[in-house]
Amino acid sequence: MDASIVFTRGGTSNQAAQVQSVAPQQSQPKTTQTGNEVIGVWSGHGETIEFKNNGQCIYLGNTFQYQLSQGHITLITPQGNAMLAYSLKGNQLNLTANGQQFTYTRGAGGQAGQSQPTQSGGNRTAPELVGKWCWTNVTSTNSGGVSSSTCIVLNGNGTYQYASERSMDTNTDAFFAGTSSQSNDQGTWWVQGDRIFYNSQTRGQGSYQLQKVNHPKTGDPMIVLDGESYVTYYQKPRW
């Protein structure tokens, strides 16, 4: 064809259609929270919290699943879900729960990439805790008894050994029987604030609340782990 063809809208005059050229608008960058910004280790208030890219959160030695939504982190725990509001400003993470705000700084004690403080060396192992600590319970009756003992050896190099024994026997005119069981474990330990952390070969990582008290009768020093008392096996001065 030697000439162009012009199409007109029905019912209008035979006027060439004009096409208005509109410059493309530049797309404005969108500010969205992908959740990647919270991944890493954060420290503050004598504790650390780590968000991993596999959906796991490690807090005080415990591992939880977590989910992210706009401005919120939901921790999935056996006791139920906990929703925390969060915001980021530079290297600081602000978490809000029950109307209280907590601020954490990126990195675990200046050592980014670790979910817990260094397990050994320096003052992390708390030299005053080095030694053997035991808990013993013996119950006896006319027909038998139960004996239980648990000992923890905290070494100065940041390692520990755990041993537990339990035996039970029944002795009557018609019946006699006895049972016994043992369990052992080992790993590394370290202290942060009022908690003692462990990395167990069989149980993985965890922690206990740590208290130092003296025995009410003998005055011997004891360590209390989540309410369970262990008295020193060797002679030690009072706390």
Write the CATH number for 54: 2.40.128.290
Between residues 81 and 172, the one the model is more confident about: 81
User: How many structural domains are present in the chain?
Assistant: 2
Q: Which of 205, 115, 191 is nearest to 158 (CA)?
A: 191
For residue range 5-19, list pLDDT tens digits in order.
555 555 544 444 444
Amino acid 210: pLDDT:
94
Amino acid 151: pLDDT:
93
Domain boundary among 106, 134, 159: 106
Write the CATH number for 189: 2.40.128
Between residues 198 and 121, the one the model is more confident about: 198
Amino acid 70: pLDDT:
84
Is 21 among the domain residues?
no
In this structure, are 83 and 53 located in the same domain? yes
Is 15 among the domain residues?
no
Is 50 among the domain residues?
yes
Is 113 among the domain residues?
no
Between residues 120 and 14, the one the model is more confident about: 14
Is 31 among the domain residues?
no
pLDDT over 70 percentage in the chain: 66
For residue range 19-48, list pLDDT tens digits in order.
444 444 444 333 334 467 888 888 876 677
Domain boundary among 106, 130, 154: 106
Amino acid 203: pLDDT:
82
In this structure, are 66 and 96 located in the same domain? yes
Catalogue the E-assigned strands of 28-130: 40-44, 47-51, 56-59, 62-69, 72-77, 80-89, 92-97, 100-106
In this structure, are 162 and 199 located in the same domain? yes
Q: How far is CA 49 from CA 39, 63, 90, 127, 172, in A?
A: 10, 10, 17, 25, 55
Amino acid 33: pLDDT:
46
Q: How far apart are CA 62 and CA 43, in angstroms?
A: 15
Residue by residue, DSSP assigns 141-167 as: ETTEEEEEEEEEEE-TTSEEEEEEEEE
Between residues 112 and 33, the one the model is more confident about: 33
Which domain covers residue 169, as residue numbers? 122-232
Amino acid 220: pLDDT:
92
For residue range 87-103, list pLDDT tens digits in order.
998 888 988 876 778 88
Is 4 among the domain residues?
no
In this structure, are 228 and 147 located in the same domain? yes
Is 62 among the domain residues?
yes
Domain boundary among 77, 106, 135: 106
Q: Give the distance, in angstroms, between the CA of residue 75 and the centroid of all CA atoms in the same chain.
A: 11
Is 5 among the domain residues?
no
Q: Which of 185, 188, 182, 148 is nearest to 168 (CA)?
A: 148
CB 158 within 8 A of CB 125: yes
In this structure, are 97 and 169 located in the same domain? no
Q: Which of 142, 138, 160, 162 is nearest to 151 (CA)?
A: 162
Question: How many other C-beta atoms are found inside a 10 Å radius of the C-beta of residue 221?
Answer: 21
Q: How far apart are CA 95 and CA 82, in angstroms?
A: 12
In this structure, are 126 and 181 located in the same domain? yes
Q: How confident is the model at residue 138 (pLDDT cuts 50, 70, 90)?
A: low
In this structure, are 129 and 210 located in the same domain? yes
Lowest model confidence (mean pLDDT) among 28-32, 56-60, 157-161, 204-208: 28-32
Residues paired with residue 75 on neighbouring β-strands, in sequence order: 66, 82
For residue range 140-163, list pLDDT tens digits in order.
555 556 678 899 999 888 889 999
Lowest model confidence (mean pLDDT) among 11-20, 56-65, 108-117: 108-117
User: What is the overall mean pLDDT for the chain?
Assistant: 74
Amino acid 115: pLDDT:
39
pLDDT over 90 percentage in the chain: 18
State the pTM of this model.
Answer: 0.47
